[in-house]
Copies of this chain bind each other. A is one copy, B any other.
């Protein structure tokens, strides 16, 4: 905590005021300094809770990045601000930024209403990097109207995304077997809006039909959101007005019937879980010796796991450990 008291406080003030340099620097710190992140997140937290957080998922190659660039331009033309947190472990990396990022950045960098941040994926196979939620919090606190999280959306990611966002957009493209994969991945259960991107390609209407068919297997009840299907094409620029409209419509739907409060509770719950997981990380320097000792005792069967956990948790709460 100590080392981040001075400068970060100012940084946070500037970031909350919308200063893009301060936002960028805080983002870097949140991503690279996991020990400082919890305190920064807690500073940002009171300023957050106003952005519309959107998850953009779909398999690699469906054009999520260029789709987001077009959506950002559309929202910007409406006077709205969009921040994008991009996580795509399948992208070829070069020095932390992908080719796609650079293309996207060059399109969006000149637009003060759009902020793109790519997370260097660290070959994690265990879902989203913890800093994804931190970055969402940062952009939310910095006053962006929308924060979009772009991810490949494998099983684990997808679940975590749904604990982070208000609206989930699933992107598909024309191509054989897509709808079957959709079903298999269980992705159909959580998307609020379906985008059929590259709608200029042949087969696009078949994909829409397939999605509609799959959706009809579990129809929305009265008062439930009826997921929409939006064809888009970056080539001829169609669909982005409709997509922006649907995204707004979904938020209004949530607001109108009390579901937004439920979703915010779910998000807060996952925030609590995340804070507890961080608070109980064994990697914290001040408990390293204790952890080593306890692990050795466990390995020698001198103590049992429950007692070991209690000892470490006590120490983490800065109380005297009982051994």
Taking a contact as CB atoms under 8 Å apart, the answer to whether B279 and A310 are in contact is: yes
Chain B residue contacts of A313, Cβ below 8 A: 276, 279-280, 313, 316-317
With known contacts A282-B272, A312-B272, A313-B316, A305–B156 Cβ distance under 8 A? no
Interface size of A by CB at 8 A reads 55
Shortest CB distance A278–B (Å): 8
Query: Which of B123, B159, B276, B314 contacts A186, CB < 8 Å?
Result: B123
Taking a contact as CB atoms under 8 Å apart, the answer to whether B125 and A159 are in contact is: yes
Q: Mark A86-111, 1 if CB is under 8 A from B, else 0.
A: 00000000000000000000000000
Taking a contact as CB atoms under 8 Å apart, the answer to whether B46 and A309 are in contact is: no
CA distance A11 to B156 in the complex (A): 36
| Residues of A contacting B: mostly | helix
Chain B residue contacts of A308, Cβ below 8 A: 271-272, 275
Q: Which residue of B lies closest to A271 (CB)?
A: B305
Chain B residue contacts of A273, Cβ below 8 A: 282
Query: Which of B123, B299, B304 contacts A46, CB < 8 Å?
Result: B304
Q: Which residue of B lies closest to A49 (CB)?
A: B301
Taking a contact as CB atoms under 8 Å apart, the answer to whether A305 and B46 are in contact is: no
A32 within 8 A of B: no
Query: Closest 6 interchain pairs by CB?
Result: A125-B155, A275-B309, A275-B305, A42-B304, A268-B299, A268-B298
Given contacts A45-B304, A273-B282, 18 further A-B contacts (CB under 8 A): A39-B306, A41-B306, A43-B304, A49-B299, A125-B158, A265-B299, A268-B298, A271-B305, A272-B294, A272-B298, A272-B309, A275-B305, A275-B306, A275-B309, A276-B312, A277-B280, A279-B310, A314-B317
